[in-house]
Amino acid sequence: MISEDFKSMLNGKSVIRQLSEYATSRGAKIGYENVFDYSLGNPSVPTPKSFTDTMIKLLTKEDPMKLHGYSQSQGIPAVRAKHAEYLNKRFNMNYTGEHLFMTTGASGAIAHAVRAVTKPGDEVITIAPFFPEYVQYVNRTGAVLKPVSADTKTFQIDFDALKSAFNDKTAAVLINTPNNPSGAMYTAETLRTLSSLMYDMQKKFGHDIFLISDEPYREIVFDGQTAPYPAAYYDNTLTCYSYSKSLSIPGERIGYVAVNPRATDADIISVMCGQISRGIGHNCPPSIIQLAVSEVLGETADISVYETNMNILYDELTALGFEVVRPGGTFYIMPKALEADSVAFCNKAKEYDLILVPADSFGAPGFFRMAYCIDTEKVERSLIALRKFVSECYR
Q: Which 38-77 positions form the footprint of a copy of itself (CB under 8 A)?
A: 42-44, 46-47, 52, 55-56, 59-60, 63-65, 67-71
Pattern 217-236, a copy of itself, x by CB under 8 A: --------------------
Cβ atoms of 287 and 76 within 8 Å: the answer is yes
**Nearest one of 102, 330, 87 to 219, comparing CA atoms:** 330
Find the binding residues for a copy of itself in span 298-337 (CB under 8 A): none
- Which 235-254 residues touch a copy of itself, going by CB under 8 A? 248-254
The minimum distance between CB 151 and a copy of itself, in angstroms, equals 29
Q: List, in order, residues 6 or more apart from 297 with CB less than 8 Å away.
A: 82, 83, 86
Strand order across the 368-371 sheet: 332-333, 368-371, 357-358
Nearest distance in Å: CB 209, a copy of itself: 8
269 is a site residue for a copy of itself (CB under 8 A): yes
Name the residue nearer to a copy of itself (CB basis): 185 or 284.
284
Site membership for a copy of itself, residue 295 (CB under 8 A): no
Residue 1 touches a copy of itself, criterion: CB under 8 A: yes
Q: Which amino acid, one-letter code, is at 243?
A: Y
Half-sphere exposure in the Cβ direction for 308 (13 Å, CA): 14
Nearer to a copy of itself, 45 or 343 (CB): 45
Residue 25 interacts with a copy of itself (CB under 8 A)? no
- Smallest distance, a copy of itself to C-beta of residue 261, A: 15
Q: Dihedral, CA atoms, 84, 301, 38, 239, nearest 10 degrees?
A: 0
CA distance 339 to 10: 31
Site for a copy of itself in 155-174 (CB under 8 A): 171
Least Å distance, CB 377 to a copy of itself, is 16
CA atoms within 13 A on the CB side of 310: 23
Site for a copy of itself in 78-137 (CB under 8 A): 103-105, 107-112, 115-119, 133, 136-137
Output b/e per residue, 200-226; b: 16+ Cβ within 10 A: ebbeeeeeebbbbbbbbbbbbbbeeee
Please state whether beta strands 144-149 and 170-176 pair in parallel, antiparallel, or not at all (unpaired). Answer: unpaired
Residue whose CB is less far from a copy of itself, 47 or 213: 47
Query: Taking CB under 8 A as the rule, which mask of x and - marks residues 171-210 in contact with a copy of itself?
Result: x-----------------------------------xx--
CB-wise, 49 or 89, nearer to a copy of itself?
49
Count CA within 13 A, CB hemisphere, residue 7: 4
